[in-house]
């Protein structure tokens, strides 16, 4: 899966990312999704199995995928900031992506996995540049979905030891519009061996939400 290495600024920090463009894309008309990786202190980075699988699935649907390393991860400057500075990193990634000539800046989505899902929801719920959000096993801040009025899909597993499906359903019920919640039997927090079907569902969601 070929990609374009990109270095972009989050305030004074240089962050690294990789942009994957679909073969069918033209100039300025490609919808795109920023992908947020799991917890940096537990080995999370932009090469994570879930992030890579979703990137491939997005490309198959004609959607660009921009995965990047949060501050303090890989070659990105800085240090872990417990989800605070990472929101700045998401805003910077959206700006860098929207400024690309190939990308339709009016059709941007945000995807996150685990810790990345937590930060994506916290930032994306009110960010006017984000049209839709997709999350895999997101760690949920209580009240983060309250009255949110954007297309949202959350995918988790019945055997997830980090985020209980009941908590996802409870938070989703507080939204200002119905969310899509899919709980897959027999899958834990890490999705090894189950990436393809999960990624396909997310890509289908973004295909419709970013029209």
Residue carrying structure tokens 């009016």: 106
For residues 10-16, give the mean pLDDT.
Answer: 99
pLDDT greater than 80 at residue 36: yes
Give the whole-angstrom CA distance, residue 31 versus residue 149. 20
Give the whole-angstrom CA distance, residue 122 versus residue 132. 13
For residues 155-184, give the mean pLDDT.
Answer: 96
Which residue intervals of the chain are DSSP H helices?
Answer: 49-60, 85-98, 115-124, 165-172, 195-209
Distance from chain centroid for Cα 192: 18
pLDDT greater than 80 at residue 25: no
What is the chain's mean pLDDT, rounded? Answer: 97
**Number of domains the chain is built from:** 1
pLDDT at residue 24, rounded to an integer: 78
pLDDT greater than 80 at residue 26: no
Give me the percent of the chain exceeding a pLDDT of 90.
96
Question: Domain of 203: which CATH number?
Answer: 3.40.50.1820
Give the whole-angstrom CA distance, residue 134 versus residue 152. 6
For residues 47-63, give the mean pLDDT.
Answer: 98
pLDDT at residue 27, rounded to an integer: 78
Q: Closest by alpha carbon to 109, among 6, 205, 199? A: 205
Q: What is the DSSP string of 132-175?
A: EEEEES----TTTTTT--S-EEEEEETT-SSS-HHHHHHHHTTS
CA atoms within 13 A on the CB side of 126: 6
Q: Find the domain containing 171 and state its range.
A: 4-209
Give the whole-angstrom CA distance, residue 67 versus residue 47. 8
């Amino acid at each position: 899966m070929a990609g374009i290495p990109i270095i972009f600024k989050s305030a004074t920090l240089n962050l690294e990312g990789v942009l994957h463009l679909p073969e069918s894309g033209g100039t300025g008309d490609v919808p795109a999704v920023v992908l947020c990786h799991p917890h940096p202190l537990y080995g999370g980075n932009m090469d994570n199995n879930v992030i890579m699988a979703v990137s491939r699935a997005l490309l198959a649907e004609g959607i660009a995928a921009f995965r990047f390393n949060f501050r303090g991860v890989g070659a990105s400057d800085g240090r872990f900031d417990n989800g605070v500075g990472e929101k700045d990193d998401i805003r910077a990634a959206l700006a860098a992506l929207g400024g690309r000539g190939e990308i339709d800046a009016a059709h941007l989505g945000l995807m996150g996995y685990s810790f990345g899902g937590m930060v994506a929801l916290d930032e994306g719920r009110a960010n006017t540049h984000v049209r839709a959000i997709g999350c895999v096993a997101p760690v949920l801040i209580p009240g983060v979905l309250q009255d949110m009025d954007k297309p949202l899909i959350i995918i988790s597993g019945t055997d997830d030891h980090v985020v209980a499906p009941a908590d996802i359903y409870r938070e989703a019920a507080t939204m200002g519009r119905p969310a899509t919640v899919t709980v897959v039997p027999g899958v834990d927090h890490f999705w090894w061996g189950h990436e393809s079907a999960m990624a396909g569902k997310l890509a289908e969601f973004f295909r419709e939400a970013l029209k």
